[in-house]
């Protein structure tokens, strides 16, 4: 971890005058955030109702709740992106102008959103210092100020180093990096503002255990320096490990404010759902003695391989590894989204050479990607359009879509997957994260593929939706579907998989049957142990 940074509210080195957030007054109040009678309604629907909530300096407050509980609305109110219908918000004793992101930011609120608001075409450095780029005197008689490119690069590298990220090309467009790296860039961007209040919305959802612990340490460091942290999380073990208080939202209302001793996993779940949540009743994995649906031999691609791997019908194979280990690259290469540079892939017993993902879909492969917003959904389009995309040929006649069949097909998918919605015609972007994810699962399960590739299948969904998704995966395997699932959540892989392969530096370094599953074994391999059995991973 980098040396201590300036206290919250002080400008970062190289920030031009007037662009820094103002330092808090000398006699600042202990309370960093104060909400009073904050209400948000959309028409007749009340989505948030918080009579009172205070956050103290030096405190980490976790906010938990099911998808749709009001967490995102609360964060939007604090960050200025949502205008409350009623109520007041104060930051360090000063009233915040509602619905003004610039005012919220200038008062010292920085938010790391679950869906990163980074500009994909701009470089890492430009994203990190957007709106506060260092300047220097230009050439010529007029002496105009110009952007100090060298200074911007140096400051960007320093910011990344502060959050434990090195080796990133800060001149490269941010959109070319995988989700875990973009997550750390977004965290560095917020950290660089030296905020009074740091809001972390699912900051570890796409990170492995080592990177996640780095983020948690950063939150502790911010609180120790006198800042306040609002931590939104679905991983309840992380919540328990980091929180000084746990606030529970349900249906927009604050239903519990728990001390660390009170915030047991059972208590948090009970408060979130209003009752006890039974653990998913998954069928125990049986011995798999079926044909290999996917057979990979000496597969190589940019940053990947060589990899050998079999996945059999009815088998759920997990892919574990640290950030940058090659988990997503393996799935994308099999899917045809990333070109392979060598090796062989057999699918359903035949040589398989997809030119693009469309070939994989036509062959019988489905992919639930890591970034559902950018890679799986058309957020502004209806739920109906989104869930039937993979089966349009089946419900069309001579190339013409039949609206009645389309609606009936969408209704079956929504019903079978338990997607909660008002109408199949509403934009899918208006659904909660868990319901969006179930809709993506429904799209592919309706297509009846032979192989399902899952990349972070429960990223950003609550505990109830996780249990439902685990049940869907298990039921699909019981029906004979081959499943390859990459996840940064070890608990997830330990719970749902028949077998786990561990990746490091683009290769498989361990292949573990269920009876040998332990967190210690997986983490030891992921940290860089030598490949077992020559790196082979055959059933």
**Residues β-bridged to residue 350:** 347
* pLDDT, tens only, 263-273: 988 888 788 87
* Residues 208-218, mean pLDDT to the nearest whole number: 84
pLDDT on residue 145: 61
Burial environment of residue 517 by CB neighbours within 10 A (0 to 12, 13 to 18, 19 or more): middle
pLDDT on residue 20: 37
Residue with tokens 């059933």: 539
As a whole number of angstroms, the distance between CA 115 and CA 134 comes to 27
DSSP structure class, residue 348: T
Q: Within 13 A of 170's CA, how many CA atoms are on the CB side? A: 23
pLDDT for residue 408 is more than 50: yes
The alpha helices in 163-319, defined as continuous H runs, are 179-192, 209-224, 236-242, 265-273
pLDDT on residue 99: 87
Instruction: Give the angle 474-478-479 at the CA atoms, nearest 5°.
Output: 120
For residues 186 and 116, the answer to whether their CB atoms sit within 8 Å is yes
pLDDT for residue 73 is more than 80: yes
pLDDT on residue 5: 38
For 236-384, strand residue ranges (E) read 245-250, 253-258, 292-301, 304-312, 316-320, 340-347, 350-351, 365-368
Least confident of 111-125, 422-436, 470-484: 111-125
pLDDT on residue 445: 87
* Residues 24-50, mean pLDDT to the nearest whole number: 78
* Residues 498-517, mean pLDDT to the nearest whole number: 91
pLDDT on residue 531: 40
pLDDT for residue 228 is more than 50: yes
As a whole number of angstroms, the distance between CA 335 and CA 48 comes to 41
Beta carbons within 8 Å of 379's beta carbon, 6+ residues apart = 373, 427, 428, 429
pLDDT on residue 280: 46
Q: What percent of the chain has pLDDT over 90?
A: 29
pLDDT on residue 139: 57
For residues 133 and 152, the answer to whether their CB atoms sit within 8 Å is yes
Find which of 252-256, 272-276, 428-432 is predicted with most confidence, using mean pLDDT: 252-256
pLDDT band at 391 (very low <50, low <70, confident <90, very high): confident
pLDDT for residue 394 is more than 70: yes
For residues 39 and 70, the answer to whether their CB atoms sit within 8 Å is no
For 369-450, strand residue ranges (E) read 396-397, 400-401
Least confident of 169-173, 203-207, 248-252, 347-351: 203-207
Q: What percent of the chain has pLDDT over 70?
A: 85
pLDDT on residue 144: 63
Instruction: Give the angle 354-360-364 at the CA atoms, nearest 5°.
Output: 140
pLDDT for residue 509 is more than 60: yes
pLDDT for residue 413 is more than 70: yes
pLDDT for residue 388 is more than 80: yes
DSSP structure class, residue 374: H
As a whole number of angstroms, the distance between CA 527 and CA 439 comes to 35
For residues 258 and 38, the answer to whether their CB atoms sit within 8 Å is no
pLDDT on residue 270: 82
pLDDT for residue 447 is more than 50: yes
| Nearest alpha carbon to residue 125 among 151, 146, 106 | 151
**Orientation of helix 209-224 relative to helix 179-192, angle to 10°:** 10
pLDDT on residue 467: 80
pLDDT for residue 483 is more than 90: yes
Q: What is this structure's pTM?
A: 0.62
pLDDT on residue 520: 79
* Residues 512-535, mean pLDDT to the nearest whole number: 70
pLDDT band at 536 (very low <50, low <70, confident <90, very high): very low
* pLDDT, tens only, 132-160: 665 555 555 445 666 778 888 888 898 89
Say how far residue 150 (Cα) sits from the centre of its chain.
Answer: 32
As a whole number of angstroms, the distance between CA 232 and CA 90 comes to 20
pLDDT on residue 135: 59
| CB neighbours of residue 465 within 10 Å | 24
**Rg (the chain; Cα; Å):** 24
DSSP string, 225-244: TT-EEEEE-S-HHHHHHH-S
pLDDT band at 19 (very low <50, low <70, confident <90, very high): very low
With helix as H, strand as E and coil as C, how does 127-145 read? HHCCCCCCEEECCCCCCCE
* Residues 363-372, mean pLDDT to the nearest whole number: 88
pLDDT on residue 419: 85
As a whole number of angstroms, the distance between CA 330 and CA 321 comes to 12
pLDDT for residue 22 is more than 50: no
Specify the higher pLDDT residue, 245 or 128: 245
As a whole number of angstroms, the distance between CA 509 and CA 515 comes to 18
pLDDT on residue 27: 41
* pLDDT, tens only, 77-121: 999 989 999 999 999 889 999 888 888 988 999 998 876 677 777
pLDDT band at 255 (very low <50, low <70, confident <90, very high): very high
Mean pLDDT, the chain, whole residue set: 82
pLDDT on residue 297: 95
Q: How far is CA 511 from CA 144, 185, 208, 343, 459, in A?
A: 61, 32, 18, 20, 24
* Residues 318-332, mean pLDDT to the nearest whole number: 88
Burial environment of residue 474 by CB neighbours within 10 A (0 to 12, 13 to 18, 19 or more): buried
Specify the higher pLDDT residue, 472 or 139: 472
As a whole number of angstroms, the distance between CA 299 and CA 163 comes to 34
As a whole number of angstroms, the distance between CA 394 and CA 362 comes to 12
Specify the higher pLDDT residue, 21 or 122: 122
């Amino acid at each position: 971890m980098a040396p201590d940074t300036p206290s919250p509210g002080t400008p970062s080195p190289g920030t031009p005058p007037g662009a820094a957030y103002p330092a808090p007054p000398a006699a600042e109040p202990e309370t960093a955030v104060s909400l009073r009678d904050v209400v948000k309604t959309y028409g007749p629907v009340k989505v948030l109702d918080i009579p009172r909530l205070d956050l103290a300096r030096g405190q980490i407050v976790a906010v938990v709740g099911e998808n749709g509980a009001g967490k995102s609305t609360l964060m939007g109110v604090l960050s200025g992106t949502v205008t409350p219908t009623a109520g007041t918000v104060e930051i360090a004793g000063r009233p915040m102008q509602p619905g003004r992101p610039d005012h919220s930011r200038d008062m010292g609120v920085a938010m790391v959103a679950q869906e990163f608001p980074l500009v994909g075409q701009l470089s890492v450095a430009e994203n990190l210092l957007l709106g506060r780029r260092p300047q220097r005197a230009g050439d010529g008689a007029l002496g105009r100020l110009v952007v100090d490119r060298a200074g911007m690069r140096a400051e960007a590298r320093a910011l990344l180093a502060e959050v434990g990220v090195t080796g990133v090309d800060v001149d490269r467009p941010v959109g070319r990096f995988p989700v875990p790296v973009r997550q750390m860039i977004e965290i560095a961007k917020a950290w660089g503002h030296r905020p009074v209040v740091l809001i972390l919305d699912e900051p570890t959802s796409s990170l492995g255990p080592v990177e996640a612990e780095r983020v948690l340490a950063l939150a502790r460091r911010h609180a120790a320096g006198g800042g306040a942290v609002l931590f939104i999380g679905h991983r309840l073990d992380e919540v328990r490990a980091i929180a000084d208080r746990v606030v529970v939202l349900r249906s927009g209302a604050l239903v519990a404010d728990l001390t660390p001793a009170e915030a047991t996993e059972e208590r948090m779940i009970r408060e979130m759902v209003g009752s006890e949540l039974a653990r998913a009743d998954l069928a125990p994995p049986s011995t798999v003695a079926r044909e290999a649906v996917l057979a990979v031999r000496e597969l190589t691609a940019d940053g990947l391989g060589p990899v050998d791997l079999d996945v059999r019908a009815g088998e759920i194979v997990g892919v574990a590894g640290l950030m940058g280990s090659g988990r997503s690259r393996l799935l994308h290469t099999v899917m045809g989204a990333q070109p392979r540079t060598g090796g062989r892939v057999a699918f359903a017993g035949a040589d398989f050479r997809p030119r693009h993902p469309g070939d994989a879909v036509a062959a019988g492969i489905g992919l639930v990607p890591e970034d559902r917003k950018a890679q799986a959904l058309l957020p502004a389009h209806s739920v109906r359009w989104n869930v039937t995309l993979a089966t349009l040929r089946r419900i069309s006649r001579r190339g013409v879509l039949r609206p009645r069949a389309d609606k009936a097909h969408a209704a079956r998918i929504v019903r079978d997957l338990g997607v909660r919605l008002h109408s199949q015609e509403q934009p899918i972007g208006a659904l909660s994260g868990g319901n969006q994810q179930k809709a993506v699962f429904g799209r592919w399960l309706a297509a009846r593929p032979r192989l399902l590739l899952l990349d972070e299948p429960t990223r950003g969904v609550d505990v109830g939706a996780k249990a439902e998704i685990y049940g869907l995966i298990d039921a699909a395997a019981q029906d004979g579907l081959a499943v390859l699932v990459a996840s940064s959540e070890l608990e997830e892989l330990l719970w749902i998989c028949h077998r786990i392969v561990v990746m490091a530096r683009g290769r498989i370094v361990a292949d573990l049957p269920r009876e040998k599953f332990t967190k210690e074994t997986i983490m030891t391999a992921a940290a860089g142990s030598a490949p077992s059995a020559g790196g082979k991973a055959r059933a």
